[in-house]
Structure 1
Amino acid sequence: MTLRRSEDAFVDEIFAAVPHSGASFLKAHFPRVYVDPNREAYELDPAMFVQPLPAYVNTTSLRVRAGLGTVPRVVASGDAIYASKLDFPLIVQRLEQNYFPFHSALDVLLRQAHARYGCYLLIDCHSMPSVAGICDADAGLRRADFVLGDRFGTSCAPLLTQLVESFLTALGYSVRRNIPYAGGYITSHYGRPAEGRHTLQIEINRALYMDEESITPHAGLARLHEQMTQLTQLLVERGPDAIRAR
């Protein structure tokens, strides 16, 4: 259960109807606490490993320092995941079996969309604890219902972000932009608005749809499922105009 509190539980169910709107839908079949696809391929803490890491590994990022690299060192509570040091070749195998297939599938979808339409909009879906954990910059604070991350306006057309924010606030939700989550590797890597490549990260407060202690859904899950289906339809219908108006 401690490990599962670092999991984006039920987010796939919230967005499960996305394909019915004509959009593509990709989900990982592995947990972030095992491999985090929202990091660089090799963003690792050298203190976790038996042997020295190759020079190509990013060992100095802020995420690595926080223990939240591609293979996390700690869970959301700050507790260590591993009792002993890891062998780097085994982690390479883990990435080859999980991380790279995920990004390969995502890259194919985005290339196809861009080739067909000249642009794409990638919505990167996440969840967040209702109260920030010890590892977070906003530790102990109660969070908004939604946090939209567009790398402070650099990964997505402003009108797209505004379209999503307006939809959510009209439903009565509290919304923040970029604080405490501006977006990770996926947002920064795939979001290049000048090329028609737009990426927006959505973080959903878990209290809206589940009991955070038992990790079980409540009635809010069905409501969010319906609302996110409506949001997807809105983006399919009005997103292209927002992109062209950037």
Structure 2
Amino acid sequence: MPKQAYSLLRPECQTSSVVFASPHSGCDYPEWFLRRTLLNAQTIRSSEDAYVDKLFAAAPEFGAPFLVAEAPRAFLDLNRAADELDPALIRGVRRPVNNPRVASGLGVIPRVVAHGRPIYHGKMALDEANRRIDAYWRPYHARLQSLLDETRAGFGRAILIDCHSMPHEALDTMVRAGAKRPEVVLGDRFGASAETDIVDEIEAAFASAGFEVSRNAPFAGAYVTQHYGRPARKQHAIQIEIDRSLYMNEDTIEPRSDFEAVRARLASVIRDIIAIGMPRQSLAAE
């Protein structure tokens, strides 16, 4: 099993209602898992949001906590509900009703990685699936909710920034001829998971750093934004997807030579997003 469910990077003093999280950048692959999978050590990483934890690592420096998953996405998907179990992979599970994520092999215990490549030969026991959920899914989500509760108690609201990356090809069918290709997709479940004014400010932060931004297509947000986005309770959730080709070679899963330059651009975005959640008197004093 991976050594731990998550790492929590805290600022010396939290100054904002913004909380960052990265559920898919974990890369702690147990040796027994790599021996069991049909895939090689590189292909198994194709669904991973590689280096997203490093891209957003500046968050604590600017006053926001950053929760980072340690378990890899191919091992356990933290952006799925605990009951999104795949009967094609897990013995003793009934087929869910109208769940396209599970049907495509992308449940809480994934059956496939990118391009539909199978992870396992045969099925696993329900007990094994439940052990993974109990050991990694439940601690991660319990800590995330407690962070949001603490933040809301201290600042009157909480703004969750759920950090992801997307394959460059994900937008191939979305971009019209002659149109600029988005480099960042913001997902707020079409306004259901966060107040529009907050998403507008986040979009402006990316645009001011020179990123092309779109909303909700093809990624509007999955379990995390759906579950945690409760604007009426002053709890907002916004998913951020960044084009992987901006900062890494998607074939080799290695950082590009200009990785640090991209990270520096994102640091300015992170600073501006955190400022959105600062108390107004703090902003006036700066």
TM over 0.5: yes
TM-score (norm 2): 0.77
Tell me the C-alpha RMSD between the 2 structures.
2.0
- 1:31 is paired with a residue whose SS is coil
Shift of 1:58: 4.7
Q: SS where residue 108 of structure 2 aligns?
A: coil
Matched residue type, 1:165? E
What is the correspondence of 1:93-108 to structure 2 with a 5 Å cutoff? 93-108=131-146
What is aligned with 1:199? 237
Deviations 1:30-49 (A, max 9, x none): 11111011000120111212
Partner of 1:4: 45
Does the Cα contact within 8 Å between 1:43 and 1:59 map onto a contact in 2?
no
Question: What is aligned with 1:44?
Answer: 85
**In the alignment, which residue of structure 2 is the partner of 1:176?**
214
Question: What's 1:218 paired with?
Answer: 256
Per-residue deviation, 1:140: 6.2
The offset of 1:163, in angstroms, is 1.3
Indicate if the aligned counterparts of 1:41 and 1:70 stay in contact, CA closer than 8 A.
Answer: yes
Aligned to 1:33: 74
- When residues 76 and 31 of structure 1 are mapped into structure 2, their CA distance, relative to the original with a 3 A threshold, is same
Q: Secondary structure at the match of 1:200?
A: strand
For residue 12 of structure 1, what is the amino acid of its counterpart?
D
Matched ranges for 1:1-246 at <5 A:
1-50=42-91, 52-53=92-93, 58=96, 60-132=98-170, 144-239=182-277
The answer to whether the 8 Å contact 2:209/2:268 transfers is: no
Q: Counterpart of 1:192 in structure 2: which amino acid?
A: R
Aligned pair count reads 234
Secondary structure of the equivalent of 2:114? coil
Aligned equivalents of 2:258, 2:182: Cα separation in 1: 16
- Return the letter of the residue paired with 1:83: H
**CA 47–151 in structure 1, closer or farther in 2 if over 3 Å, else same:** same
**Greater Cα shift, 171-180 or 28-37:** 171-180
TM-score (norm 1): 0.89
Instruction: Report the alpha carbon displacement of residue 199 of structure 1 after superposing the two structures with TM.
Output: 0.6
C-alpha distance in structure 1 between counterparts of 2:240 and 2:247, whole Å = 15
Q: 1:45 to 1:115 in 2, by over 3 A?
A: same
Residue number in structure 1 paired with 2:18: none
TM-aligned CA distance change 1:196 to 1:236, over 3 Å: same
Q: Name the aligned partner's letter for residue 207 of structure 1.
A: S
| Identity between Structure 1 and Structure 2 (%) | 41
CA shift, 1:139, in A, is: 6.8
Give the unaligned 5+ runs of structure 2. 1-41, 176-180, 281-286
- CA contact under 8 A between 2:81 and 2:223: conserved in structure 1? yes
Work out the CA distance in 2 between the residues paired with 1:76 and 1:30: 17
| CA distance in 2 between partners of 1:18 and 1:86 (Å) | 38
Letter in 1 for 2:93: L
**CA spacing shift, 1:22–1:119, aligned 2, 3 Å:** same
Of stretches 29-38 and 164-173 in structure 1, the one that deviates more from structure 2 is 164-173
